[in-house]
Amino acid sequence: MTTRTTFEDRLLAELQGEIERRESASAPAARRPLFTGRRLVMAAGLCAATGLAVVLSPGTPAESPAYALERHDDGTVTLTAKEQYIDVDDQRELARQLRPNGIEVEVQILRPGYGCEGDTVLWAHTPEGGRDPIFTIHWARKITLHRGNVLVFVNFNDGTEPHKVDVYPTEADVEPCVPVKPKPDQSQRA
């Protein structure tokens, strides 16, 4: 159990103090109980609402449910993926956050049914006897980025599903994703 005072604890103590001050100013000689069920429920509700507002407030520095950024004294930035999928809006927000560190981000979106030339593709059999491509997802959980690096996201299905993430030393080194419709190969089966 932690002994650190949280924002909610301080808010509850302040609310309780305010209740005491109001009651002592307006109460006659007989005192009413300080902690009634209704007052505690209201105070707890206020604490929960305030805590939620703090968590959901815009402008939370470099934090996202999908990733975290850690800036270092040498100018590098460590990107840690908290989730397998970082949606396109979060990818664009990440680009905005990395730009001041001299790191570029490209977001590429493939048409449905396409992959990048050279990607590994596994195949699944459909109930009708056909074959559907299942692409492998490439995602490094922790990446250290340097000034001048380029972080490239490639997404499937009109940007709703991430496919892979690559880091290149410079913009000149970026290998473009050449979209191709995969063809079944007898050596790759799911």
How far is Cα 15 from Cα 9, in angstroms, rounded to an integer? Answer: 10
What's the structural domain count of the chain? 2
97 and 25 within one domain: no
- State the residue range of the domain holding 156: 67-180
82 and 48 within one domain: no
Last residue of a domain, one of 56, 78, 97: 56
81 and 47 within one domain: no
Q: Is residue 44 part of a domain?
A: yes
Parallel/antiparallel/unpaired status of strands 150-156 and 104-109: parallel
41 and 118 within one domain: no
From first to last of its 190 residues, what are the pLDDT tens digits of the chain? 455 667 667 767 777 777 777 777 665 555 556 556 566 555 555 555 555 444 433 334 445 677 889 999 999 999 988 776 788 888 889 999 999 999 999 988 888 778 888 887 777 777 887 777 776 666 667 889 999 999 998 888 766 777 788 889 999 999 888 988 887 654 444 4
pTM over 0.85: no
**Residues 151 and 104 sit within 8 Å (Cβ to Cβ):** yes
52 and 127 within one domain: no
Q: Is 157 left (phi over 0), alpha (psi -120 to 50) or beta?
A: left
